[in-house]
Amino acid sequence: MAASKKSDKPKNTVAAARGRKGGKPFDAKRFWEGLKSLAGTIAIFLLLRTFFIEAYRIPSGSMIPSMLIGDWLFVNKLRYGPHVPFTDVNLPGYAEPQRGEIVVFISPLQIDQPHDPTPILVKRLIGMPGDTIHSRAGVVHINGEPQLQGYGAAFPGAHPDYVDPLFDWQKRVQLTESRFGPAPAQPTVDDWGPLVVPEGHYWMMGDNRYNSKDSRYWSFVPRANVRGRPLFVYYSYNRDDSDRPLPFLTDIRWSRIGHVIR
Protein backbone atom coordinates (compact mmCIF):
# COMPACT_ATOMS: atom_id res chain seq x y z
CA MET A 1 0.00 0.00 0.00
CA ALA A 2 1.42 3.38 -1.04
CA ALA A 3 2.24 5.79 1.72
CA SER A 4 0.30 9.04 1.73
CA LYS A 5 2.16 11.94 0.26
CA LYS A 6 3.08 14.89 2.44
CA SER A 7 2.55 18.43 1.17
CA ASP A 8 5.60 20.01 -0.30
CA LYS A 9 4.54 23.49 1.06
CA PRO A 10 6.19 24.53 4.29
CA LYS A 11 3.77 25.25 7.11
CA ASN A 12 3.44 28.85 8.25
CA THR A 13 2.86 28.45 11.96
CA VAL A 14 2.05 32.15 12.59
CA ALA A 15 -0.44 32.32 9.74
CA ALA A 16 -2.05 29.12 10.90
CA ALA A 17 -2.38 30.48 14.41
CA ARG A 18 -3.96 33.68 13.13
CA GLY A 19 -6.33 31.75 10.96
CA ARG A 20 -7.44 29.65 13.91
CA LYS A 21 -8.20 32.79 15.94
CA GLY A 22 -10.32 34.08 13.06
CA GLY A 23 -9.45 37.83 13.36
CA LYS A 24 -7.08 40.50 12.21
CA PRO A 25 -4.06 41.37 14.30
CA PHE A 26 -4.25 44.33 16.69
CA ASP A 27 -3.21 47.49 14.85
CA ALA A 28 -1.77 49.80 17.49
CA LYS A 29 -1.19 52.65 15.02
CA ARG A 30 -4.79 52.63 13.83
CA PHE A 31 -6.04 52.44 17.43
CA TRP A 32 -4.05 55.51 18.50
CA GLU A 33 -5.10 57.43 15.40
CA GLY A 34 -8.75 56.73 16.22
CA LEU A 35 -8.23 57.66 19.86
CA LYS A 36 -6.58 60.97 18.90
CA SER A 37 -9.42 61.74 16.51
CA LEU A 38 -12.00 61.08 19.23
CA ALA A 39 -10.07 63.18 21.76
CA GLY A 40 -9.83 66.02 19.25
CA THR A 41 -13.58 65.93 18.63
CA ILE A 42 -14.31 66.01 22.37
CA ALA A 43 -11.84 68.88 22.86
CA ILE A 44 -13.52 70.93 20.11
CA PHE A 45 -16.97 70.24 21.61
CA LEU A 46 -15.82 71.32 25.09
CA LEU A 47 -14.17 74.43 23.67
CA LEU A 48 -17.35 75.46 21.86
CA ARG A 49 -19.52 74.66 24.87
CA THR A 50 -17.29 76.55 27.31
CA PHE A 51 -16.48 79.67 25.35
CA PHE A 52 -18.95 80.07 22.49
CA ILE A 53 -22.38 78.44 22.68
CA GLU A 54 -24.28 76.15 25.03
CA ALA A 55 -27.72 74.56 25.18
CA TYR A 56 -30.12 75.50 27.99
CA ARG A 57 -33.51 74.12 28.99
CA ILE A 58 -36.35 76.28 30.36
CA PRO A 59 -37.57 74.42 33.48
CA SER A 60 -40.22 76.86 34.81
CA GLY A 61 -42.85 79.35 33.68
CA SER A 62 -41.17 82.47 35.08
CA MET A 63 -40.45 83.84 31.58
CA ILE A 64 -43.87 83.20 29.99
CA PRO A 65 -44.74 84.35 27.33
CA SER A 66 -41.19 85.03 26.06
CA MET A 67 -40.07 81.49 26.85
CA LEU A 68 -42.16 78.43 27.64
CA ILE A 69 -41.62 75.41 29.83
CA GLY A 70 -40.06 72.79 27.58
CA ASP A 71 -38.17 75.25 25.38
CA TRP A 72 -34.57 74.29 24.58
CA LEU A 73 -32.41 77.15 23.39
CA PHE A 74 -28.87 78.01 22.43
CA VAL A 75 -27.04 80.57 24.58
CA ASN A 76 -24.37 82.89 23.18
CA LYS A 77 -21.61 82.78 25.81
CA LEU A 78 -19.14 84.85 23.81
CA ARG A 79 -21.28 88.01 23.79
CA TYR A 80 -20.77 89.06 27.41
CA GLY A 81 -17.44 87.27 27.84
CA PRO A 82 -17.04 83.52 28.52
CA HIS A 83 -16.29 82.26 31.99
CA VAL A 84 -13.17 80.13 32.48
CA PRO A 85 -14.27 76.94 34.30
CA PHE A 86 -13.00 76.28 37.84
CA THR A 87 -11.79 79.88 38.16
CA ASP A 88 -13.15 83.35 38.96
CA VAL A 89 -11.99 84.63 35.56
CA ASN A 90 -14.34 86.06 32.94
CA LEU A 91 -12.80 86.74 29.55
CA PRO A 92 -13.73 89.94 27.66
CA GLY A 93 -16.83 89.84 25.49
CA TYR A 94 -17.87 92.02 22.59
CA ALA A 95 -20.89 93.62 24.34
CA GLU A 96 -22.19 94.52 27.77
CA PRO A 97 -25.62 93.52 29.11
CA GLN A 98 -28.26 96.16 28.40
CA ARG A 99 -31.60 96.97 29.98
CA GLY A 100 -34.38 94.90 28.48
CA GLU A 101 -32.19 91.99 27.38
CA ILE A 102 -32.84 88.42 28.48
CA VAL A 103 -29.77 87.14 30.29
CA VAL A 104 -28.52 83.75 31.51
CA PHE A 105 -26.65 83.96 34.82
CA ILE A 106 -25.65 82.20 38.01
CA SER A 107 -28.15 83.02 40.74
CA PRO A 108 -27.07 84.78 43.92
CA LEU A 109 -27.27 82.52 46.97
CA GLN A 110 -30.80 81.18 47.53
CA ILE A 111 -30.94 80.29 51.22
CA ASP A 112 -34.29 78.55 50.90
CA GLN A 113 -33.03 75.78 48.61
CA PRO A 114 -29.85 74.28 50.07
CA HIS A 115 -30.05 71.40 47.56
CA ASP A 116 -29.31 73.88 44.73
CA PRO A 117 -28.38 77.27 46.22
CA THR A 118 -26.92 78.86 43.06
CA PRO A 119 -28.79 77.53 40.01
CA ILE A 120 -28.39 78.80 36.46
CA LEU A 121 -31.31 81.13 35.70
CA VAL A 122 -32.69 83.12 32.80
CA LYS A 123 -34.44 86.45 33.45
CA ARG A 124 -34.85 89.90 31.90
CA LEU A 125 -32.44 92.65 32.92
CA ILE A 126 -34.55 95.47 34.38
CA GLY A 127 -32.17 97.64 36.44
CA MET A 128 -28.67 98.81 35.48
CA PRO A 129 -25.89 99.84 37.86
CA GLY A 130 -26.74 103.18 39.51
CA ASP A 131 -30.47 102.97 38.73
CA THR A 132 -33.00 103.78 41.43
CA ILE A 133 -35.75 101.22 41.03
CA HIS A 134 -39.07 100.72 42.76
CA SER A 135 -42.52 99.26 42.13
CA ARG A 136 -45.97 100.54 43.05
CA ALA A 137 -49.14 98.59 42.30
CA GLY A 138 -47.07 96.25 40.14
CA VAL A 139 -45.69 99.00 37.89
CA VAL A 140 -41.89 99.10 37.93
CA HIS A 141 -40.30 102.57 37.93
CA ILE A 142 -36.69 103.20 36.90
CA ASN A 143 -35.29 106.54 38.03
CA GLY A 144 -38.87 107.69 38.48
CA GLU A 145 -40.07 106.66 35.01
CA PRO A 146 -42.84 104.04 34.90
CA GLN A 147 -42.02 101.12 32.62
CA LEU A 148 -44.43 99.72 30.07
CA GLN A 149 -45.81 96.34 31.09
CA GLY A 150 -44.94 94.85 27.74
CA TYR A 151 -44.30 91.32 28.95
CA GLY A 152 -46.23 88.86 31.05
CA ALA A 153 -46.96 90.95 34.14
CA ALA A 154 -50.69 90.38 33.84
CA PHE A 155 -50.45 86.58 34.02
CA PRO A 156 -52.33 85.25 37.06
CA GLY A 157 -50.32 84.02 40.00
CA ALA A 158 -49.42 85.42 43.40
CA HIS A 159 -51.73 87.98 45.01
CA PRO A 160 -50.47 91.59 44.63
CA ASP A 161 -50.17 91.89 48.43
CA TYR A 162 -48.24 88.63 48.72
CA VAL A 163 -45.40 88.81 51.26
CA ASP A 164 -42.50 86.37 51.36
CA PRO A 165 -39.91 86.26 54.18
CA LEU A 166 -37.28 86.33 51.43
CA PHE A 167 -38.28 89.97 50.72
CA ASP A 168 -36.85 91.06 54.06
CA TRP A 169 -33.33 91.56 52.68
CA GLN A 170 -34.68 94.68 50.96
CA LYS A 171 -35.23 96.41 54.31
CA ARG A 172 -31.47 96.67 54.83
CA VAL A 173 -30.83 98.57 51.58
CA GLN A 174 -34.09 100.33 50.69
CA LEU A 175 -34.14 104.13 50.72
CA THR A 176 -36.02 105.61 53.66
CA GLU A 177 -36.04 109.05 52.00
CA SER A 178 -36.04 109.87 48.30
CA ARG A 179 -37.92 111.94 45.72
CA PHE A 180 -39.87 108.77 44.91
CA GLY A 181 -41.32 108.55 48.39
CA PRO A 182 -40.46 106.24 51.28
CA ALA A 183 -40.19 102.50 50.96
CA PRO A 184 -43.10 100.45 52.29
CA ALA A 185 -42.66 99.11 55.81
CA GLN A 186 -43.10 95.62 54.39
CA PRO A 187 -42.11 94.88 50.76
CA THR A 188 -44.69 92.89 48.81
CA VAL A 189 -44.66 91.31 45.38
CA ASP A 190 -46.18 94.51 43.91
CA ASP A 191 -44.83 97.25 46.22
CA TRP A 192 -41.11 97.47 47.00
CA GLY A 193 -38.21 99.89 46.85
CA PRO A 194 -36.86 102.38 46.12
CA LEU A 195 -33.53 100.59 45.89
CA VAL A 196 -30.31 101.71 44.23
CA VAL A 197 -28.65 99.08 42.04
CA PRO A 198 -24.99 98.87 43.14
CA GLU A 199 -22.13 99.31 40.71
CA GLY A 200 -21.22 96.05 38.98
CA HIS A 201 -24.68 94.58 39.62
CA TYR A 202 -28.05 94.19 37.86
CA TRP A 203 -31.71 93.86 38.85
CA MET A 204 -33.32 90.82 37.16
CA MET A 205 -37.01 89.96 36.90
CA GLY A 206 -39.07 87.32 35.15
CA ASP A 207 -41.57 88.38 32.50
CA ASN A 208 -44.23 86.39 34.32
CA ARG A 209 -43.94 88.72 37.32
CA TYR A 210 -46.40 86.95 39.60
CA ASN A 211 -44.83 83.55 39.05
CA SER A 212 -41.17 84.52 39.10
CA LYS A 213 -38.60 84.15 41.84
CA ASP A 214 -36.16 86.91 40.95
CA SER A 215 -34.19 89.86 42.36
CA ARG A 216 -37.10 90.73 44.65
CA TYR A 217 -36.32 87.47 46.48
CA TRP A 218 -32.55 87.03 46.22
CA SER A 219 -31.12 90.52 45.61
CA PHE A 220 -28.90 92.00 42.90
CA VAL A 221 -26.93 89.91 40.39
CA PRO A 222 -23.16 90.56 40.16
CA ARG A 223 -21.78 91.20 36.69
CA ALA A 224 -19.37 88.30 37.23
CA ASN A 225 -22.36 85.92 37.42
CA VAL A 226 -23.53 86.69 33.87
CA ARG A 227 -23.00 83.77 31.50
CA GLY A 228 -24.67 84.64 28.21
CA ARG A 229 -27.65 85.69 26.15
CA PRO A 230 -30.22 83.30 24.63
CA LEU A 231 -30.24 83.14 20.83
CA PHE A 232 -33.13 81.00 19.59
CA VAL A 233 -35.25 77.95 20.41
CA TYR A 234 -33.93 74.84 18.66
CA TYR A 235 -36.43 72.39 20.18
CA SER A 236 -39.63 72.70 22.20
CA TYR A 237 -42.37 70.43 23.43
CA ASN A 238 -45.43 70.84 25.62
CA ARG A 239 -43.96 69.56 28.84
CA ASP A 240 -46.27 71.06 31.48
CA ASP A 241 -49.83 70.15 30.45
CA SER A 242 -49.65 67.62 27.63
CA ASP A 243 -52.21 64.80 27.61
CA ARG A 244 -50.27 62.74 25.07
CA PRO A 245 -47.91 59.85 25.77
CA LEU A 246 -44.21 60.64 25.28
CA PRO A 247 -44.87 64.39 24.77
CA PHE A 248 -41.23 65.05 23.90
CA LEU A 249 -42.00 63.15 20.67
CA THR A 250 -45.76 63.50 20.22
CA ASP A 251 -46.38 67.07 21.44
CA ILE A 252 -43.58 69.05 19.83
CA ARG A 253 -44.24 72.78 19.42
CA TRP A 254 -43.16 73.04 15.79
CA SER A 255 -43.96 76.75 15.63
CA ARG A 256 -41.45 77.45 18.43
CA ILE A 257 -38.47 75.86 16.65
CA GLY A 258 -36.28 78.63 15.31
CA HIS A 259 -38.02 81.27 17.48
CA VAL A 260 -35.59 84.15 18.15
CA ILE A 261 -35.43 85.21 21.83
CA ARG A 262 -36.10 88.93 22.44
| Res. 9: pLDDT tops 70 | no
> pLDDT over 90 for what percent of the chain?
57
Does residue 88 or residue 124 have the better pLDDT?
124
Q: Which helix (H) or strand (E) holds 179?
A: none
27 part of a folded domain: no
Number of compact structural domains in the chain: 1
| Res. 97: pLDDT tops 70 | yes
46 part of a folded domain: no
DSSP string, 83-126: BPTTSS-B---S----TT-EEEEEPPP-TT-TTSSS-EEEEEEE
Does residue 38 or residue 220 have the better pLDDT?
220
Q: How far apart are CA 181 and CA 174, in angstroms?
A: 11
17 part of a folded domain: no
| Res. 146: pLDDT tops 60 | yes
Residue 41 CB-half CA count within 13 A: 6
Which range has the worst mean pLDDT, 43-52, 175-184, 220-229, 233-242?
Answer: 43-52
pTM of this prediction?
A: 0.80
160-184 burial: b if 16+ Cβ within 10 Å, else e: eeeeeebbebbeeebbeebebeebb
The answer to whether 141 touches 175, Cβ cutoff 8 Å, is no
21 part of a folded domain: no
Q: What is the pLDDT of residue 177?
A: 87
| Res. 199: pLDDT tops 70 | yes
Q: How far apart are CA 249 and CA 67, in angstroms?
A: 19
33 part of a folded domain: no
Instruction: Write the CATH number for 148.
Output: 2.10.109.10
Domain that holds residue 240: 53-256
Q: What is the pLDDT of residue 84?
A: 83
Average pLDDT, the chain: 86
